[in-house]
Chains A and B, each alone.
Chain A
Amino acid sequence: MTDLNERLKGIDRLTPPDLWEAAQIKAEGGLTSPSTPSLTRRLAIIAASLAIGLAAVGLVMIAFRSDPSASRPVTPGRHAVENGDIWVKVGGGDGETAIYRVDPQSVRNPEAMWTDSGGTFGDTPVAPELLADDYAFSPDGSQVAFSAQEDQGSGEVPRELFVMNADGTGLRRLTSDRAYAGFPDWSPDGDTIAYASYRGTNYVPGCLGSSICPTDLYVIDVTGGTPSLLVAGDVSETTPSWSPDGSSIAFAEIGEDGVGAIVTTRADGSGRVELAPTGAVSFPSWSPDGTQILFLKMQDGTNHLWTVNPDGSGHHDLADTRTDTNFGRPLWSPEGDYIAFARPYAGVVSLWIIDPAGDRSPERIAGWPGFAGSPIAWRPIPAETMPSASDVTALVSSSGPSGDTALLTGTLTAENGCLAVSTVYVVWPAGYSLSEEKAGIWLVDDSGTLVARIGDEVQMGGGITNLAHAEPEVVGGIPSSCEVGSPDAYWFAGTPEAVIGSLVANGAADMEATRLPGIDAYRVCRVLALPGDFGDAGDEVVVFEEERVPGAGCIGSEGFQHVAVLRDGRVTSLSRRITDFDIKAWRVWPYATPDLDGDGEDEIAVALSDGGEDRRVWFFMLAPGGGGVEAVYDPQQPFTHVIGGDAAPLPRGIYCDGEGKARRIVTWVATGAGKLDVIETRWRLETFRVVFDSETTVHIEKRGYPDAGDVELCGSPVSLRRAYPSA
């Protein structure tokens, strides 16, 4: 690899285009929608490393504990949500209007969903009935409530509440207050909507906030029906916001002079508490974690974002919107990790986000030259469907390689309230790849609470083919004080240091390791294949790498490789150092075979491959009682599957290429003396047809074979039929 640098430098022969002008145009063209890596939700993971020494061997245990401030217990079946799109209304007044959605995590441009003007917004559907105000998403993000004029031509111009599906279908009217209904907010259980309503006859557009048409707060069932009065007073009560536990409601009380207060009450309207500071305050919004109330406050001529604790303490000036225009309610992200708001930038009303602690400067997400755009709602999207606890138990169980289902293996204890998640491996069959989204791989504890999922850092790990190493992203609460768990054993394969043995939760975030007798004499630096079941006798095969240079680990040097057979937690057979084969990455196909070499003992053949497109296979023959590798065979053929035949007297294999087509049949036999002979060359040429589902896809050439039958080949049932030469 000495010329790697030089080979890479060959790319310098290419002349890059001048992209500066393009960058400037993109930056100034308005519709910039930067990818915001900082938005990528990454909950802090504290990786605690603890060296556990046995003899002179250092073993590193890695455990994860969620950052308490970021801990967000998630219960399946409830509204576990993630941040979705931000909806923005562009235009308005007498001009053309459209509703855009902005994906704050994508480099995609904002997309117009509906408009009232065909042509201006390209192919955007013209749907003026969906262009409204005061959008509010249901807790699961599937529906949206809004306030709109049903009949713009009438003299009374009443505004009513409507509900539709988030894709614009299923529009239905919710209220018939015949004056004004606005600022809906869904209760956390999704059953009720609180809103502001004026029901008198003095309603004219613009009268809101004055004594002419003071609003009161009502609640109404999302299925409709008769609204119930929640709070009424002499001034306008408006812009209600539910606390996330549904017990309280925050709202603004605004007098005719625009001065008022942020107020909370219990969900039945009782227990009024006025929060400081008062003044020209508006648009309270309860944070998703319930710890803060966000609102706008006019001071020194501009609107500022403020937060205050629900008990009225700890008010905090978060950011200046730099405008006296009130663009409406600033939005919490559904996960509570960001706040979106509108602020002018170079004369353009732009969408900005800021972290709720205000530790960083606001980031500009997008802007619309020539339009007044403001965020109207941030859509929650349901978290990925979580499996039941029983599903996860199956996933977590350490299983052997192969099979058609991805298996999760690694270390997880969840007992006595003690949970420790450590390195997790995902095993999936050859020919498959794990989707980058890794949907459906979750860890859920016994109570069904989501505790971790595979993060987006899945990598090929440990040099193991089809074995991905992932650091779990801890998303749930892991108790910081753990009781000592029962001594259940979990196989663990780490890198660069590794242990083969049992792990027991020890009450802290790490786990105690006990290495397996028989292997503990080796400096194991890499586990190349996790223990995999085979045979009926409870045997398992594990492949590991021994440090070649003491203290160097496996990094930067090739280790010595070993194959071991285990039964009942004991090593029953262990190979000598395998030095003749440079086996990079591994998958194990173990075969329990009868006495192959006639020495009176059964042997075990293990096929190992290096995966990728250059798959090769080696067969190691081990006697269960010990004695190490008896024979090795390297057929030097690429393959994806090896089908072990149990049709005595001889084992046989079929190689399949990367497209699942059989290439050829090889049989082999042990001759003793540490060798395997391939016996196909001794047989006469005949032709068999391989039939996949009645469709002939490939011919297998094979030198004579006494019988044929139904086998599974390359993952598909196959009938082997003798096809006699026509001539």
Chain B
Amino acid sequence: MADLTDAVERTYRAQAERLWHALVLFCGDREVASDAVSEAFAQAIARGSGIEDVHRWVWRSAFNIARGELKRRGRQTSGVPDLPAEVPIETVDLVRALAKLSPKQRASIVLHHYAGYSTKEIAGIIGSTSGAVGMHLDRGRRRLRDLLGDDDD
């Protein structure tokens, strides 16, 4: 148990910050992100054994939990992200636009363009196939370009 908790804590120290940021991008809500991170790590600790890859397990659980929480709260809410002033306005706009994507498109965009995961790794996190992730990325980017009216390409 102690070994496992150590492994979970090591993963926490290495991943929690990036995971939390990714979840804020995904949900636009720091509270949901914090809940998802703490719940995912709590479950990893409580699970006791049987987690082969804590890193991957925690990312998958946290995104699952966050998605479940958003679903529970209902996505009808404004889409105005709960982000303080230190976040650049371009990022706030982007988070607002991300909120209009489907959860899988949004997760794919965040996990790829922010967290740097490959489509295969993303498929493992969001429960999909790498081909489908490629599609989510393509559609998500098109939709973002649409929403943001990008003129940089």
Interface, chain A (partner B; CB < 8 A): 1-5, 7-14, 16-17, 19-20, 22-28, 32, 34-35, 37, 106-107, 345-346, 360-361, 363-364, 436, 457, 459-460, 463, 495-496, 555-556, 584, 610, 612-614
Q: Is the CB of A8 within 8 A of B91?
A: yes
Please give me the 3 A-B residue pairs with the lowest Cβ-Cβ distance, nearest first. Answer: A10-B91, A26-B42, A23-B41
Q: Is the CB of A26 within 8 A of B90?
A: no
Q: Is the CB of A19 within 8 A of B38?
A: yes
Docked CA distance A26–B41 (Å): 9
Q: Is the CB of A459 within 8 A of B9?
A: no
CB interface residues, B 61-93, toward A, < 8 Å:
61, 64-65, 68-69, 71, 83-84, 86-88, 90-91
Q: Is the CB of A20 within 8 A of B9?
A: yes
Q: How far is the CB of B109 from chain A (nearest CB, A)?
A: 8
Q: Which residues of B contact A22 (CB under 8 A)?
A: 34, 38, 42
Docked CA distance A12–B40 (Å): 21
Q: Is the CB of B37 within 8 A of A436?
A: no
Q: Is the CB of A1 within 8 A of B152?
A: yes
Q: Which residues of A contact B50 (CB under 8 A)?
A: 360-361, 363
Given A16-B16, A35-B64, A460-B102, also A1-B144 (CB < 8 A):
yes
Contact of B46 among A106, A364, A584, A612 (CB under 8 A): A364
Docked CA distance A35–B135 (Å): 27
Q: Which residues of B contact A35 (CB under 8 A)?
A: 39, 43, 61, 64-65, 68
Smallest Cβ-Cβ distance to A22: which chain B residue = B38
Residue pairs across A and B with CB atoms within 8 Å: the count is 162
Q: Is the CB of B146 within 8 A of A612?
A: yes
Can you name 28 A-B residue pairings with CB atoms under 8 Å?
Answer: A1-B145, A2-B152, A3-B152, A5-B114, A7-B91, A10-B94, A11-B24, A11-B91, A14-B84, A14-B86, A19-B37, A20-B16, A20-B41, A23-B12, A23-B37, A23-B42, A23-B45, A25-B42, A26-B42, A27-B46, A35-B64, A35-B65, A37-B61, A459-B104, A460-B143, A555-B138, A556-B138, A612-B100
Q: Is the CB of B45 within 8 A of A11?
A: no
Docked CA distance A460–B109 (Å): 15
Docked CA distance A1–B149 (Å): 10
Q: How far is the CB of A132 from chain B (nearest CB, A)?
A: 30
Q: Is the CB of A19 within 8 A of B71?
A: no
Q: Which residues of B contact A463 (CB under 8 A)?
A: 139, 142
Q: Is the CB of A584 within 8 A of B152?
A: no
Q: How far is the CB of A234 from chain B (nearest CB, A)?
A: 45
Q: Is the CB of A34 within 8 A of B43?
A: yes
Docked CA distance A584–B142 (Å): 8
Q: Which residues of A contact B47 (CB under 8 A)?
A: 34, 363-364
Besides A9-B91, A14-B87, 12 more A-B contacts (Cβ < 8 Å) are: A1-B145, A2-B153, A3-B90, A7-B90, A9-B114, A16-B37, A19-B34, A34-B46, A37-B64, A457-B128, A584-B143, A612-B147
Given A1-B153, A363-B50, also A459-B105 (CB < 8 A):
yes
Docked CA distance A107–B44 (Å): 14
Q: Is the CB of A345 within 8 A of B135?
A: no
Smallest Cβ-Cβ distance to A437: which chain B residue = B71
Q: Which residues of B contact A106 (CB under 8 A)?
A: 68
